[in-house]
Amino acid sequence: MQLAAGVGGEAVKRVLAGLTKRGRWFLLIGVTLTLSAVIAGTPDMLRAGVLLLALPAISLVMALRSRIRLAASRSVEPRRTPVDTTATVRLWLQNMARVPSGVLLVEDQLPYSLGNRPRFVLDRVWSRFRREVRYTVRADVRGRYKIGPLTLRVTDPFGLVELYRSFTETATLIVTPAIHPLPSVRLVGEWSGSGESRPRSIASAGEEDVTIRQYRHGDDIRRVHWPATAHHGELMVRREEQPWQSRATLLLDTRVAGHSGHGRDSSLEWAVTATASIGVHLARRGYALRLITDSGGAVSASWHSAEEGPVDAEAPLLDALAVVEATKHASVGNWPDLLAGGGTSSGLLIAVIGKLRPQEAELVAGMRHGSTSALAILLDSGTWTSASERTRNHNVVSLAETEQILRRAGWGVVSARRQDTIANTWERLGVPRRSLEIPQPTVLAGAPDGGL
């Protein structure tokens, strides 16, 4: 992108409006001395007044005669970064004019959350000048940030006039929630399955096992199913393995009434970080993911497959979670419709939920259908506030009642408090090891080995 400044009527208006504080004082004092000299008839005072008036005029002419043509481009690496990590912004500046210019001050526009605006002084900008500058940004709050546009300030040698020019190009930095590594656990409703690519852990409701599919380039000709080929009129091959597709739906509670605390130290941020960590963990295990939220009326209900790599499922999930906010209009009553909007309710359902009333818990309990495996992390949101002992006791009783309602409906439930880590909570959500152990037969005294 190029930027040019030259002579013109609009440029004159901008320059007159761009007088510095020093230039305004020179102009004011010059007008005052000139009027006073005319009234008093003092030639020496008149000469001083004319000189003070001439200096801003000279600076104006010098600013108008200057011609600047700069080309600029930028890149952000990486474009997506977790909170509390740095990203590098690279700027390329080039003087497209054949004549050199004076000292230039270049400033990039940044949101307050990314730090102070970086400034660079370019001295001796000769013809065909080219320079690369870098600076780093870091955000401790997730979100989508606009970097730019680049602004350019040109001053005259006396510092009486300032010209500002602005580029239009901007870049976007997505600051995602932090990702916590999670242990490998077996979840309720899982078993070992296999597909045509690799074995994977699958949810209790997968896709239908189809044994015939269309021929793909590279398939072994010995796998061609000739009866099916004759029936369909195109080459069909046998599937040698079950084509199960692991699926997981992540439900994030974004109700204002369901969360407590402020900023980074809030139950909502804990829930967002937990959802991001679980989603990335499942994507790297081969799951197709979808995220369900009731935030801003926008629902990310599309399935994001990880067949070609986990990033295909991670990126949409993290981009959506980067901008999630608590909303007052969000309601538990909307959740069944949001879940149904994904096209299918099959697969694993994992919900990260804030405080619920008994009526709301009954509604959530009914969201589990058939053999669908449903897991819930219930946040004890009262632990994110300095509530009284009476209020804390009430929250404990309410949380226990909610857990009981969900468990009766077949949900797997764990509670999470402010001091709990996400990894420990995820481990408690899995099947206990002792329930997976095979009991050994009891050998009675005096009986043969293996007898009863």
| CATH number for the domain harbouring residue 149 | 2.60.40.10
Asked if residue 328 is part of any domain, the answer here is yes
My answer on whether 23 and 134 are in the same domain is no
More confident residue, 219 or 280: 280
- 164 has pLDDT over 60: yes
My answer on whether 115 and 148 are in the same domain is yes
Residues 248 and 287: beta-carbon distance below 8 Å: yes
- 190 has pLDDT over 50: no
Least confident of 199-203, 268-272, 354-358: 199-203
DSSP summary character for residue 445 = T
Predicted pLDDT of residue 318: 92
- Range picked from 15-19, 52-56, 101-105, 324-328 for highest mean pLDDT: 324-328
My answer on whether 60 and 85 are in the same domain is no
Asked if residue 318 is part of any domain, the answer here is yes
Predicted pLDDT of residue 124: 65
Q: Which of 146, 176, 206 is the last residue of a domain?
A: 176
Six-digit token string for 306:
């990880």
Asked if residue 441 is part of any domain, the answer here is no
Strands (E), 78-127: 80-82, 86-95, 104-108, 119-122
pLDDT digit string, tens, across residues 216-255: 766 778 788 888 888 888 888 876 544 456 788 999 999 9
My answer on whether 14 and 54 are in the same domain is yes
CA gap 288, 306 in Å, rounded: 6
Asked if residue 377 is part of any domain, the answer here is yes
Q: Which of 65, 85, 100 is the last residue of a domain?
A: 65
Core vs surface per residue 180-200: b (16+ CB within 10 A) or e? bebeeeebbbbeebebeeeeb
Report the pLDDT averaged over residues 51-79.
Answer: 80
Predicted pLDDT of residue 137: 95
C-alpha distances out from residue 80 to 139, 213, 382, 417, Å: 12, 38, 33, 29
- Range of 291's domain? 247-436
CA gap 195, 204 in Å, rounded: 15
Residues forming beta bridges with residue 265, ordered by sequence position = 262
> In which band, very low, low, confident or very high, does the pLDDT at 22 lie, cut at 50, 70 and 90?
confident
My answer on whether 124 and 49 are in the same domain is no
> In which band, very low, low, confident or very high, does the pLDDT at 206 lie, cut at 50, 70 and 90?
very low
CA gap 24, 35 in Å, rounded: 17
More confident residue, 301 or 354: 354
- What secondary structure does DSSP assign to 259-312, as a single string? --EETTEEHHHHHHHHHHHHHHHHHTTT-EEEEEE-BTTB---S-B--TT-THH
My answer on whether 109 and 85 are in the same domain is yes
Report the pLDDT averaged over residues 256-271.
Answer: 93
Residues 324 and 334: beta-carbon distance below 8 Å: no
Asked if residue 227 is part of any domain, the answer here is yes
> Based on the structure, what is the number of domains in the chain?
4
Asked if residue 86 is part of any domain, the answer here is yes
- 259 has pLDDT over 60: yes
Six-digit token string for 181:
């590594």
Six-digit token string for 85:
């990590």
Strand, helix or coil at 45?
helix
More confident residue, 448 or 222: 222
Predicted pLDDT of residue 83: 95
Please state, for a pLDDT cut of 70, what percent of the chain lies above it: 73
Asked if residue 315 is part of any domain, the answer here is yes
Predicted pLDDT of residue 10: 60
My answer on whether 351 and 279 are in the same domain is yes
The phi, psi pair for 127, rounded to 5°, reads -65, 140
Report the pLDDT averaged over residues 172-190.
Answer: 85
CA gap 155, 102 in Å, rounded: 9
Asked if residue 446 is part of any domain, the answer here is no
My answer on whether 294 and 378 are in the same domain is yes
Strand, helix or coil at 429?
helix
> In which band, very low, low, confident or very high, does the pLDDT at 100 lie, cut at 50, 70 and 90?
low
- Range picked from 99-103, 191-195, 235-239 for highest mean pLDDT: 235-239
- 202 has pLDDT over 70: no
More confident residue, 381 or 210: 381
What crossing angle do the helices spanning 43-65 and 21-40 adopt, rounded to 10°? 150
Predicted pLDDT of residue 351: 96
Predicted pLDDT of residue 404: 95
My answer on whether 231 and 326 are in the same domain is no
My answer on whether 136 and 161 are in the same domain is yes
- 449 has pLDDT over 70: no
My answer on whether 207 and 324 are in the same domain is no
Residues 266 and 272: beta-carbon distance below 8 Å: no
- What secondary structure does DSSP assign to 72-86, as a single string? EEEEEESSEEETT-E
Predicted pLDDT of residue 200: 40
Q: Which of 123, 143, 176 is the last residue of a domain?
A: 176
Predicted pLDDT of residue 304: 66
- The H-or-E segment that residue 168 falls in is none
Strands (E), 338-434: 348-353, 374-379, 412-416
Residues 237 and 219: beta-carbon distance below 8 Å: yes
- 307 has pLDDT over 60: no
My answer on whether 415 and 365 are in the same domain is yes
Report the pLDDT averaged over residues 348-377.
Answer: 90
More confident residue, 235 or 434: 235
Report the pLDDT averaged over residues 299-318.
Answer: 65
CA gap 362, 367 in Å, rounded: 9
Predicted pLDDT of residue 302: 61
CA gap 283, 108 in Å, rounded: 37
More confident residue, 265 or 210: 265
pLDDT digit string, tens, across residues 383-426: 998 877 777 788 889 999 999 999 999 999 999 999 999 999 99
